[in-house]
């Protein structure tokens, strides 16, 4: 019964993660480059694409937001409600971050000093890191095993949920981001500084692996998250990571980037990561799900919309490509 939901959650969340990765690491690159007082083609190409990437990332996030509500409704809502204004704060943060990206790209900002532009990028980065932190915190709170934790949280009027897994998990996602963004650059700025991109991607993979290991180590019996349940996915994740590391390793050694291979390995990384993530909480799936949504109609409508929408998006990409080539 829950299979189509889990599958769609995994796929759409993987898309969200890829785009968010581009946004997080791209913004960080622009900010760091600017703080060091300079500019380069990678920063320029990132600035150019960041607003769209964020728009797409947010749009991509809406789908998992829907499927999470189907699958883990009581848990997800409870965590949202407990974090309350601290949770709602992600919206203004996103608006500020979004307009900061547009400002950074504008003609007006081009006339500013490098420091001033770096400050704008840093502001955007701070907003996005805050949003990432918030999602992780929300997730950790939602996955508490004992509902008494929630009641105690409410009674205290606490807005934050402290959890030893949050910081390493954030490190993992930032590492993933650094491993994803270079792929985008291979398309947005072909031929520019491939070895630097390789170094960033490899560094990102290392940080991600370390963060994941620390987060797994910090996961304790208070959470319904079951790392062992994801064993199959984790093997796949390890394979995707190794493939990606090899592909970028070759670039670091001076080979021309194999764009297709890097793209395939990156997508595989996102999918297996999303799959592992779901497998770890599958045991906690609301057992009433079957009775709650078994009568839900409309799947054929969605499938048809997906086919039509996919075709429409494909058409857009084709004409965009032709226009930029011609």
Would you tell me which residues interact with ligand HEM (CB under 6 A)?
13, 16, 20, 23-24, 58, 61-62, 64-65, 68, 94, 128, 131-132, 135-136, 139, 169, 173, 277
Q: Give Cβ neighbours of residue 13 (< 8 Å, ≥ 6 apart).
A: 64, 274, 277, 278
Among 94, 126, 264, 282, which residue sits at the site for another protein (rule: CB under 8 A)?
94
The two structure tokens encoding residue 126: 């701070």
Task: Name which of another protein, ligand HEM, none residue 73 binds, using a CB cut-off of 5 to 8 Å depending on partner kind.
Answer: another protein
Q: Which is nearer to another protein, 151 or 213 (CB)?
A: 151
Among 1, 116, 151, 238, which residue sits at the site for another protein (rule: CB under 8 A)?
151
Is 301 an interacting residue with respect to another protein (CB under 8 A)?
yes
Alpha-helical runs (H) found in the chain: 3-35, 41-71, 73-88, 90-105, 107-110, 114-142, 147-156, 166-188, 194-218, 231-252, 259-282, 289-293, 299-325
Task: Name which of another protein, ligand HEM, none residue 131 binds, using a CB cut-off of 5 to 8 Å depending on partner kind.
Answer: ligand HEM
Count CA within 13 A, CB hemisphere, residue 23: 29
- Which residue is associated with the tokens 């930032």? 174
The two structure tokens encoding residue 289: 């799900």
Task: Name which of another protein, ligand HEM, none residue 106 binds, using a CB cut-off of 5 to 8 Å depending on partner kind.
Answer: none
Could you tell me the smallest distance in angstroms from the CB atom of residue 74 to another protein? 5
Could you tell me the smallest distance in angstroms from the CB atom of residue 274 to another protein? 17
Task: Name which of another protein, ligand HEM, none residue 296 binds, using a CB cut-off of 5 to 8 Å depending on partner kind.
Answer: another protein
Question: In the window 263-292, what residues touch another protein (CB under 8 A)?
Answer: 284-288, 292
Among 1, 7, 91, 290, which residue sits at the site for another protein (rule: CB under 8 A)?
91
- Give SS3 for 144: strand
Count CA within 13 A, CB hemisphere, residue 168: 15
Q: At what angle do helices 259-282 and 3-35 cross, to 10 degrees?
A: 120
Is 299 an interacting residue with respect to another protein (CB under 8 A)?
yes
Sign of the torsion formed by the C-alpha atoms of 51, 27, 134 and 221: positive
Is 38 an interacting residue with respect to another protein (CB under 8 A)?
no
Instruction: Give the per-residue contact string, 306-325, with another protein (x = CB under 8 A; - = no).
Output: x-xx--xx-xxx-xx--xx-
User: Measured at the alpha carbon of residue 65, what is the angle toward residues 60 and 70, in degrees to the nearest 5?
Assistant: 135
**Beta bridge mates, 144:** 223
Stretch near another protein under the rule CB under 8 A, chosen from 18-26, 34-42, 173-181, 295-303: 295-303
- Which residue is associated with the tokens 């319904």? 224
Is 246 an interacting residue with respect to another protein (CB under 8 A)?
no
Q: Other C-beta atoms within 10 Å of 130: how many?
A: 15
Could you tell me the smallest distance in angstroms from the CB atom of residue 260 to ligand HEM? 27
The two structure tokens encoding residue 170: 């954030």
Q: Give Cβ neighbours of residue 76 (< 8 Å, ≥ 6 apart).
A: 68, 69, 138, 142
Task: Name which of another protein, ligand HEM, none residue 225 binds, using a CB cut-off of 5 to 8 Å depending on partner kind.
Answer: none
Task: Name which of ligand HEM, another protein, none residue 209 binds, using a CB cut-off of 5 to 8 Å depending on partner kind.
Answer: none
Measured distance CA(165)–CA(64) in Å, rounded: 22
Task: Give the residue at shortest CB distance from ligand HEM.
Answer: 61
């Amino acid at each position: 019964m829950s299979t189509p939901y889990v599958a769609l959650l995994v796929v759409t969340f993987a898309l969200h993660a890829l785009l968010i990765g581009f946004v997080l690491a791209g913004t960080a690159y622009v900010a760091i480059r600017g703080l060091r007082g300079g500019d380069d083609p990678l920063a320029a190409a990132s600035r150019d694409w960041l607003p769209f990437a964020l728009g797409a990332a947010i749009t991509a996030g809406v789908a998992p937001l829907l499927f999470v509500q189907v699958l883990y409704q009581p848990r997800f809502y409870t965590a949202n409600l407990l974090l309350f204004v601290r949770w709602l704060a992600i919206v203004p943060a996103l608006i500020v971050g979004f307009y900061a990206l547009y400002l950074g790209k504008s003609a007006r900002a081009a006339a500013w000093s490098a420091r001033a532009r770096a400050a704008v990028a840093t502001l955007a980065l701070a907003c996005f890191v805050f949003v990432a932190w918030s999602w992780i915190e929300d997730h950790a709170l939602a996955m508490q095993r004992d509902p008494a934790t929630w009641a105690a949280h409410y009674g205290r009027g606490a807005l934050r949920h402290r959890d030893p897994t949050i910081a390493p998990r954030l490190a993992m996602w930032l590492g993933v981001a650094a491993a994803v963004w270079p792929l985008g650059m291979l398309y947005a700025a072909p031929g520019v500084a491939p070895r630097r991109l390789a170094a960033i991607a490899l560094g990102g993979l290392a940080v991600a692996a370390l963060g994941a290991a620390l987060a797994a180590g910090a996961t304790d019996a208070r959470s319904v998250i079951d790392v062992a349940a994801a064993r199959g996915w984790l093997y796949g994740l390890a394979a995707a990571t190794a493939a990606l590391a090899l592909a970028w390793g070759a670039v670091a050694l001076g080979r021309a980037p194999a764009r297709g291979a890097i793209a395939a390995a990156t997508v595989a990384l996102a999918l297996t990561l999303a799959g592992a993530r779901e497998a770890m909480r599958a045991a906690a799936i609301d057992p009433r799900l079957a009775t709650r949504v078994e009568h839900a109609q409309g799947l054929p409508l969605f499938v048809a919309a997906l086919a039509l929408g996919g075709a429409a998006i494909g058409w857009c990409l084709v004409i965009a490509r032709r226009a930029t080539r011609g």
